[in-house]
Amino acid sequence: MHQTHLNFPIATAVLTVSDTRTIETDKSGKEIIHLLQDHHHEIVDYKIVKDDFQDITSTIQSWCEATSIQVIIINGGTGFSPRDVTYEAVSALLDKEMYGFGELFRSLSFDDIGARAMFSRAIAGCCQDTSLYALPGSTNAVKLAMQKLIIPTMHHFVEELHRK
């Protein structure tokens, strides 16, 4: 029986991928943390790394190996500029991809930004027993994904990964 109606705190890590943001200027990372804390989730770690494949993958891998982290939320680097490599880094680490996440995110984004929504390479899935979500770096995109997709389903995703 699924217990997805339970509201237990989830241990999360937040990763901002950017060549320009700092802790002081990272509005999207702060928004993710704020929304998670509003729902009583625990922030285990928070980092900002450059748009660099190795930096992104090594951070995510170390967090996936940490038993104290259940969910990783990444923002930034999901577009089409030459420096945007978050999608490649995350997709290379996934054991299973949640195809509907990117599709649904782009569909919801279409209502806000029109056809430009198709340029988002948002992705979600799991690496070992850890849920991963990668979002665009825009604060509006982060709010949309967190409020409509991630927070409403985080408990279910974590439970699915630990179901025997």
Residue 3 domain flag: no
Domain that holds residue 57: 11-161
Is the pLDDT at 125 greater than 60, yes or no? yes
Interval 83-114: pLDDT, tens: 999 999 999 999 999 999 999 999 999 999 99
Question: What is the pTM for the complete model shown?
Answer: 0.95
Residue 97 domain-assigned (yes or no): yes
Is residue 156 assigned to a domain?
yes
- Supply the pLDDT for residue 164: 75
pLDDT band at 148 (very low <50, low <70, confident <90, very high): very high
Average pLDDT over residues 40-47: 98
- Residue 56 belongs to a domain: yes
Q: Is residue 150 part of a domain?
A: yes
Report the distance separating Cα 66 and Cα 143, nearest Å. 27
CATH number of residue 50's parent domain: 3.40.980.10
In a domain, 60, yes or no: yes
Count: domains in the chain: 1
